Structure 1
């Protein structure tokens, strides 16, 4: 009996130690001056990029490096709701880019050998719709847009009777790294000199200044564009044409938003959701 009591005391002591460690490691992040707690959705990943969120099934899609330290080879994976272990998307060669049409429940994958389409429903297979394109980045709004590598030129996918055609978007004449269209139909692009806004129905570039290195641009469900830089997450103030920091987080690789517009971001090895609550 004494042995059992001592054993119970030891277990309780270990529980207290574990909880104390968890609390000591819990670091709040202030998003728009509101305390948020980090909830880890996935871990053990090597540089997860290109996050995309399935609003109906609550899956987080992403690309990640499966190569060695000297060579980048990418695979597309996804996390189911409540599952910290990820699964792989098959049949996409060197998959890197992802875009979701949440209205029609279709997801697009871009790899080194083309663009693939997958219906977000059970038993749906991955179908290649564009061949011989090395895809750097993708964005969906009304149409699928993609940036080709190494030209860094922007293209739009257009459905024709013979299949899917790709049209070079000549009004975006420079080499770009990211492209999105926000809720006002304004375009944001990044190139080697920084971030620019192109107002709807114009071609003039409005420079948004420092910082000039971005790993991800994503538009939330309200149509607001968010930008991840070296030192945090930013939004555009369209009145002053400046960037405003909304969260100080370093080493962000990807951004996405869930149904409630909670931010999901990736660090070098984890995928994390920010929820408005304090650490206890």
Structure 2
């Protein structure tokens, strides 16, 4: 009887220690520490990371600028240099062509490119189109507002994506096998590449979508981070976040960088392993 009592006390103490050590954000059973990269910016959104230069591009709300409403900006993750990108009207969207080292920016009147020399934007094309989101995989894709259609941008011309011509789309992504992920007011949808099958993955209110270096698709909602498992396909929750989330990216170390109401934060993994009560601890 005494042995049972002692064992119960030991287990209770161990459980209390786990709870204390695992406070905060846990992803893949690993505790992560929050590292603030930039603060004092209003609603940073549409994050995109250039892996070669470690420049993180994003848009943010600029209520004092009544003409544009939004601005494009960057942070150099190596030096912490921050800058506002000039030369773009209503900067709202960002995407990186990693192969050709081109950063595309979306404004309320078309597509721009980022000039690393001047740190300004130069007009590219799709004039008078209000860009909502940019996505790059082999070619540039964008969604427009308020029509919510998906276009490709090729040889200086926007072309409606035939596969989604009848589908409202706010956020768009392609996974490693060119299957299509769509977010709209009805949730998250997954279309097999040849369009032979489609899946409604859930009524998620996505506000950010991205791919990692291996083209795996992740998305954020206002309070959680998710991953799309292609084998299902299915949605896997990675973490709940106490802050209000506005978007995310995944860096080359598989660390998550997300935006909240006024900051950009990196989640750095620690050596602390965390498990729920019904999981086997190795």
Same fold (TM over 0.5): yes
Alignment of 1:103-142 (within 5 A): 103-119=99-115, 121-123=116-118, 126-130=121-125, 131-142=127-138
1:74 is matched with which residue? 70
In the TM superposition, what whole-angstrom CA distance separates every residue of 1:71-115 from its partner, at most 9, and x where no partner exists?
A: 981000111235556211110101001111111110001111111
TM-score w.r.t. the length of structure 1 is 0.82
| TM superposition shift of 1:122 | 3.0
1:236 matched residue in structure 2:
228
Question: What is the match of residue 54 of structure 1?
Answer: 50
Task: Say which is worse superposed, 71-80 or 141-150, in terms of deviation.
Answer: 71-80
1:30-82: CA deviations, max 9, x gaps?
01111111111100010000111111221111100011599981000111235
Tell me which residue corresponds to 2:193: 200
Structure-2 change in CA distance of 1:118 and 1:72 (3 Å) = closer
- Quote the RMSD (CA, aligned, Å): 2.4
How far is 1:261 from its partner?
2.2
The residue that corresponds to 2:264 in the other structure is 271
Mapped to 2, the partners of 1:105 and 1:265 lie a distance apart of: 23
Unaligned runs of at least 5 residues, structure 2: 1-19, 273-282
When the two structures are aligned, how many residues end up with a matched partner? 249
Equivalents in 2 of 1:56, 1:238: separation in Å? Answer: 27
* Other-structure match for 1:9: none
Question: Residue 157 of structure 2 corresponds to which residue in structure 1?
Answer: 165
Q: Which residue of 1 aligns with 2:175?
A: 182
- Aligned partner of 2:144 in structure 1 is 148
Distance, in Å, in 2 between the alignment partners of 1:242 and 1:258 is 23
* Unaligned residue ranges in structure 1 (runs of 5+): 1-23
What SS class does the counterpart of residue 277 from structure 1 fall into? Answer: strand
Matches within 5 A, 1:222-261: 222-250=214-242, 251-261=244-254
Contact 1:100–1:140 at 8 Å: present in 2 too? yes
Mapped contact 1:27–1:37 kept (Cα < 8 A): no
Is the contact made by 1:135 and 1:149 (CA closer than 8 Å) also made in structure 2? yes
1:41 counterpart (34, 37, 40) = 37
| Deviation at residue 123 of structure 1 after TM alignment | 4.4
What is the CA–CA distance in structure 2 between the aligned matches of 1:30 and 1:71, rounded to whole Å? 41
Counterpart Cα distance in 1 of 2:170 and 2:123 = 23
- TM-score, structure 2 as length reference: 0.82
Structure 1 residue 28: Cα displacement: 3.1
